[in-house]
Amino acid sequence: MSTNVAVIGASMTQFGQREAWIQGLLAEAGAACLDDAGVAPDAVEHLYVSNMASGEFEGQTGVPNALAHDLDCLPAYTQRVDQTSSSGGAGMYAAWQSVASGASEMTLLVGGEKMTHRSTGEATDVIASLTHPVEYKHGVTLPSFAGLTARRYLDRYDAPRESLGKVAVKNHENGVDNPHAQFQKEVDLETVLESPIVADPLRLYDFCPITDGSAALMFCPESVAKEYTDEYALVSGVGGATDTHVVHERAEPTVMGGVVESGKEAYEMSGYGPEDIDVAELHDMFTILEFLQMEGLDFAEQGAAWELVEEGKTECDGELPINTSGGLKSKGHPLGASGVAQGYEIYKQVLGEAGPRQVDADVGLACNVGGFGNCVITTIMEAGA
């Protein structure tokens, strides 16, 4: 049996348009996490950096090495984790593995991305470069995949367009209470539905923004956690899966196989099922993704997630609050940071430290999606004894 893996500290920077570059953003979150956990830098044995594209965005590579120096963590083993938009979730998986295997007794995970110095078109192209050549040459983007999928979903399940808009309204409302969120303001449904078209039928407010930011988590064996604190979370389950990157080849465009398979793994490892989850952070890079993950993780029947949204069941006072942090939609989406920031929110929720965002939660789930469901990590956390 592998070691129980605990999380004993968490941090995240302000998300939004930041002056700092990638190295500075990572160092800010990393130092804050060391402080939050009460861990001395020289106690860190493994340091993982979740980042998709610092080379492409700013011509900066070797960031884990630089970060270890900046945080005074030398000679800790360092490794970059790139799994596109799910780099953060993959970092949590890597950090869990490092501790569960016995390879490290103190692992710091820092995720971050610097994007806002690029134009929307340039940033979109960096992300779209993950697509297959036969799709890339047609100018496909991740937002256009979302438009294609949303039209199929609305048509196939006879869902109202407004239900997607209500995801944006909900997550913006949640983001008001998150001081780290890029947008701390509400939007009404009319504003969402009348905003400019980006990928028909989806409009501007169906999409997350381009964001700078960083987040961090500290992992160690549960036995070591007890030496530091009485307040820690446990990684109850984690699962990762990959689907084809040739998106048009998938049997059904509204089903994300990576979500289904990673969720199954995480549920099996944790011993929990969808009915046991009290709070979830889902990868709402686009509003339609919240529906697809709710269904892939068995929170809703196939084609019925929109009904739960219409009934208010995913709001903070609903049966299953989703994206209490504001989600990527409101909080922002600095690619490599997002999965770690999801973990930050679940950690805070299960420890009862989420402040005005706090919901009644003993067990929480984070689902981090790379590409358009190309690679997915699902993580389940609960409060330690």
Partner 1 sequence: MSRESDSAAGEPAMAAARYADGSITYPPHPLGPDGTERTGTIDLSEHTATVVTWTTSTATPPGVREPNHLAIVEFEIEDESVRALGQLTTNDIEIGDEVQPVYAEELRDPEAGIREPASQDWDGYRFEPAD
CA-closest candidate to residue 330, choices 110, 173, 192: 173
Q: Does 134 bind partner 1 (CB under 8 A)?
A: yes
Choose, by CB under 8 A, the member of 58, 65, 132, 173 that binds partner 1: 132
Contact pattern for partner 1 over residues 36 through 65, marking x by CB under 8 A: --------------------x---------
Question: Residue written as tokens 């990673």?
Answer: 262
**138 phi and psi, to 5 degrees?**
-85, 0
Closer Cβ to partner 1, 82 or 135, answer by number: 135
Question: Residue written as tokens 């070691």?
Answer: 3
Closer Cβ to partner 1, 141 or 293, answer by number: 141
Contact pattern for partner 1 over residues 155 through 174, marking x by CB under 8 A: x-------------------
Residues 239-298 that bind partner 1 (CB under 8 A): 246-249, 253
Instruction: Identify which range of 150-158, 181-189, 321-329, 369-377 contacts partner 1 by CB under 8 A.
Output: 150-158
Q: Does 133 bind partner 1 (CB under 8 A)?
A: yes
Over its C-alpha atoms, the chain yields an Rg (Å, rounded) of 19
- For the bound state, the minimum distance from the C-beta of residue 277 to partner 1, rounded and expressed in Å, comes to 30
- For the bound state, the minimum distance from the C-beta of residue 366 to partner 1, rounded and expressed in Å, comes to 28
- For the bound state, the minimum distance from the C-beta of residue 250 to partner 1, rounded and expressed in Å, comes to 9
138 Cβ contact partners less than 8 Å away, ≥ 6 residues apart: none
Q: Which whole-number Å values give the CA distances from 230 to 148, 225, 284, 289, 344, in the listed order?
A: 48, 8, 33, 36, 18
- Distance (Å, rounded) from C-alpha 306 to C-alpha 58? 39
Residues 295-314 that bind partner 1 (CB under 8 A): none
User: Contact, 330 vs 306, CB < 8 A?
Assistant: no
100-133 burial, b if ≥16 CB within 10 A, otherwise e? beeebbbbbbbbbbbbbebeeeebbebbbebbee
User: Contact, 42 vs 53, CB < 8 A?
Assistant: no
Choose, by CB under 8 A, the member of 20, 66, 126, 304 that binds partner 1: 126
Choose, by CB under 8 A, the member of 14, 20, 36, 136 that binds partner 1: 136
> Which parts of this chain interact with partner 1 (CB under 8 A)?
56, 120-122, 124-126, 128-129, 132-141, 143-144, 147-152, 155, 196-202, 246-249, 253
